[in-house]
Structure 1
Amino acid sequence: MSLPDIPQSIITNAAFVPKTVHKRDIFSETISGSLEGIPDFPVVLRKLDTVPWYARPIAWALARKEIKGLRAVHGIEGCPALVRVDKTGLLRSWTQGTPLQLAKPSDPAWYRDARRLLRDMRRAGVTHNDIAKPQNWLMTPDGRAAVIDFQLASVHRRRGPLFRTMAREDLRHLLKQKRAYAPDLLTPSELSMLAQKALPSRIWMATGKRAYNFVTRRLMNWSDGEGTEDRIERDGPALRTALMAHPQVADIALSTYALPAKGVGLYAFVETTLDAGMLSSLAPQPRPEAMQPVTAMPRHADGSPRMDALDLVAANRLDELALLQEREPELAKALAPIIASRLNLTDRVLRP
């Protein structure tokens, strides 16, 4: 997306108006919004000024990679535009589109455009290095391909063996998405590429990936989806009994979500006028990892809670929530305050 036809001085000085917090981890907070006075140009802030002191060197190292990558891909269709960088963090354009795990493209045109995008990035000397994640690929409203999240991107001055290997891995990871969502479109040569993981990638998976997982999941508290024991059946009955005994608790809905390297957490939506502190004092051990008081839960016509929506809130799956709210405007009204006060701000998906 290109920058709007507005003087750079205005873009540089306009205040950021936050709208939605999408995720938060030890390295940054990702917030969508707009610039004051330019409401029709949506932007995303990677906020770095609140990062803990001990994580700032890594956080800014990742930010510098993203800044360098975004500058290198400027003008490429399907890549976000860097708006500005200051002490708060870095601001980029918002890319309108549906993440691949929701779009599940089956049209050959999308995959042709995705390969075009990788070619354009390769010509600019850029490898993305993180497009194995389907959430970093988008299908735009007009069916084009787009990529986001350049934190791990590399800009290469020389197109030597390392560059060629990393560019090949970007393409192989695109083919993995194709295998997941449109396997019938894979050609024999693409199937052959999928079967041949590059040597650096194999070494990384055997060595560096393990260290990376230890640091990010154990030390840095990034979420992991491992462990799927049924917390609702195990801890739910006692929790429900204890909370429902209070006259100011009207109902409880329980969901699960991914915890930082600890398996599955229990998320309780409690329809009550009590505050979170009072709920915590009422809850028996082991307490839920998240207890969110809500004024009113979204409900089906028969009065039962809309667990399809609440499960998405608990897992912080905002893209799916947006699609659900588009289909059901009345549901959107009930969900808005719940989403705004949600307690899980990680971007990991809990897989059964």
Structure 2
Amino acid sequence: MSSPSEDAEVLSARWTEGVLLKRDVFSTVERGRFRTADGDVEAVLRRIDQVPWWSYLPARHLFGRERRALALARDLRVGPELLWAGRQALVRGFIDGVALHLAKPFGDAAYFRSAKQALRKLHRAGICHNDLAKEQNWLVGRDGRAYLTDFQLAACFRTRGRLFRIAAYEDLRHLLKHKRSYAADALTPKERKILARKSLVASIWLATGKKVYRAITRGLFNFTDREGGGRRLVNDAPVLIGLIRQNPAVRDAAIVAFADRRTGVGLYAFVEADQTALEVRLRSDLAAAKGPKPPEHIQVVQALPRDASGKPRTEILQLVATNQLDLIEPMMTSAADRAFLKDILESRKNLRDRFNFETADLNSPSS
């Protein structure tokens, strides 16, 4: 299903293709640059002209909800600015920040105060997001503030009736669940009471509607949105990691997902080992095992980046796999971290969507 001619003309003249962020049965999302009256700006494109015919109607519905919400929230500065919208595509401003599940703002009470203020602004404008349980829909900006994204399930209300109040309450409750995960000590007594009490609608949804939703999306549409990784990250990655670790030369391994223009979702394996030529043997072993499809990319590294507890920092590896190197810099805490990561970046495998989102600090020669 091709894009309407007017959409195609605008995108051809004003959009510069960049990194593919996500591709599923409901839309294709990519990062690039968009030409405005003030010059080119970093932006994000969502388009539905490439979705399968059987998912077009729900995709169209979700697209319309996001377009309405972004138009209404244009001046709030709590989410992406709507730069342009057509019939089957829209362009929103790029927010310089990373998703909550990547940033992991442990103990950052200021971030969650900012998040609460952002949510209050959104609700005052009559908008309820309705999808804030997902950490990837909360961004931690480079300025440390909270921003919201992905308004496909958002609802716009003209009056603050009962349905609005229920949706707004659930938005807040989902925010507080994230606050409990990252900054539990900052929860107030009132916030703890909200966490302990779901709305009746939410309780009914969990008992009935959510089961139907999962049956449709995961069964009929074969769609699982685990941080954009889909079924391969959920089902295949754990099996593949187990197979890779069976090789005695492997100390550890981590697998992350990346959006792929040909297959939708690709897997990128980072393998900690001393033998850089180990990739060929690993591919042979995975093929012989006749298990899940092997990762599109296997990169052998001397050491995986790890957090204080010793676990691989998959949030950094995720950004390496998607070539969003400019978003890694704020997550580096020392010169040693930068030097360590530089070795991984110089031998990274996924160069198809490299574009120009590299940061000089990470790619400059060591002094």
Calculate the TM-score normalised by the size of structure 2. 0.70
Match of 1:177 in 2: 178
Question: Deviation at 1:134?
Answer: 1.6
RMSD: 4.1
* DSSP 3-state at the match of 1:49: coil
Residues in 2 aligned to 1:183 and 1:305: alpha-carbon distance in whole angstroms: 29
Which one-letter code corresponds to 2:206 in the other structure? M
Match of 1:129 in 2: 130
Match of 2:146 in 1: 145
Question: Deviation at 1:130?
Answer: 0.8
Contact 2:267 2:296 in 1 (8 A): no
Match of 1:198 in 2: 199
Which one-letter code corresponds to 1:323 in the other structure? I
Q: Determine if the alignment matches structure 1 residue 92 to structure 2 residue 104.
A: no
1:292 to 272, 276, 296: 296
Once structures 1 and 2 are overlaid, which stretch shifts more, 92-101 or 163-172?
92-101
Question: Deviation at 1:88?
Answer: 5.0
Contact 2:319 2:327 in 1 (8 A): no
Aligned length: 308
Contact 1:235 1:286 in 2 (8 A): no
1:237-252 paired onto structure 2 within 5 Å: none
Relative to structure 1, the CA distance from residue 132 to residue 52 in structure 2 (aligned partners, 3 Å threshold; closer, same or farther) is same
Match of 2:364 in 1: none
Which one-letter code corresponds to 1:83 in the other structure? L
Q: Determine if the alignment matches structure 1 residue 332 to structure 2 residue 337.
A: no
Contact 1:100 1:138 in 2 (8 A): yes
Identity of aligned residues (%): 35
Relative to structure 1, the CA distance from residue 341 to residue 125 in structure 2 (aligned partners, 3 Å threshold; closer, same or farther) is closer
Question: Deviation at 1:61?
Answer: 0.5
Q: Determine if the alignment matches structure 1 residue 30 to structure 2 residue 4.
A: no
1:294-333 paired onto structure 2 within 5 Å: 297=299, 299-300=301-302, 312=317, 322-323=327-328, 327=338, 328-333=341-346
Match of 1:4 in 2: none
Which one-letter code corresponds to 1:68 in the other structure? R
Match of 1:349 in 2: none
Which one-letter code corresponds to 2:70 in the other structure? L
* DSSP 3-state at the match of 2:20: strand
Question: Deviation at 1:144?
Answer: 1.5
1:231 to 239, 250, 266: 239
Calculate the TM-score normalised by the size of structure 1. 0.72
Question: Deviation at 1:332?
Answer: 2.1
Which one-letter code corresponds to 1:201 in the other structure? A
Residues in 1 aligned to 2:215 and 2:234: alpha-carbon distance in whole angstroms: 14
* DSSP 3-state at the match of 2:288: coil
Question: Deviation at 1:129?
Answer: 0.6
Which one-letter code corresponds to 2:27 in the other structure? S
Match of 1:155 in 2: 156
Match of 1:70 in 2: 70
Residues in 2 aligned to 1:310 and 1:47: alpha-carbon distance in whole angstroms: 28
Question: Deviation at 1:117?
Answer: 1.2
Which one-letter code corresponds to 1:169 in the other structure? E
Residues in 2 aligned to 1:169 and 1:19: alpha-carbon distance in whole angstroms: 35
Which one-letter code corresponds to 1:125 in the other structure? G
Residues in 2 aligned to 1:180 and 1:237: alpha-carbon distance in whole angstroms: 30
Question: Deviation at 1:321?
Answer: 9.6
Residues in 2 aligned to 1:194 and 1:56: alpha-carbon distance in whole angstroms: 36
Which one-letter code corresponds to 1:338 in the other structure? N
Question: Deviation at 1:291?
Answer: 3.9
Relative to structure 1, the CA distance from residue 290 to residue 36 in structure 2 (aligned partners, 3 Å threshold; closer, same or farther) is farther
* DSSP 3-state at the match of 2:132: coil
Q: Determine if the alignment matches structure 1 residue 19 to structure 2 residue 45.
A: no
Residues in 2 aligned to 1:172 and 1:305: alpha-carbon distance in whole angstroms: 35
Residues in 2 aligned to 1:187 and 1:269: alpha-carbon distance in whole angstroms: 41
Deviations 1:275-312 (A, max 9, x none): 9xxx79x9335243234267xx4532xxx788958994
Contact 1:268 1:288 in 2 (8 A): no
Residues in 2 aligned to 1:338 and 1:298: alpha-carbon distance in whole angstroms: 13
Relative to structure 1, the CA distance from residue 331 to residue 236 in structure 2 (aligned partners, 3 Å threshold; closer, same or farther) is closer
Match of 2:45 in 1: 45
Relative to structure 1, the CA distance from residue 116 to residue 230 in structure 2 (aligned partners, 3 Å threshold; closer, same or farther) is closer
Deviations 1:50-74 (A, max 9, x none): 1111111111110000001101111
Q: Determine if the alignment matches structure 1 residue 110 to structure 2 residue 114.
A: no
Residues in 1 aligned to 2:56 and 2:342: alpha-carbon distance in whole angstroms: 41
Question: Deviation at 1:105?
Answer: 4.9
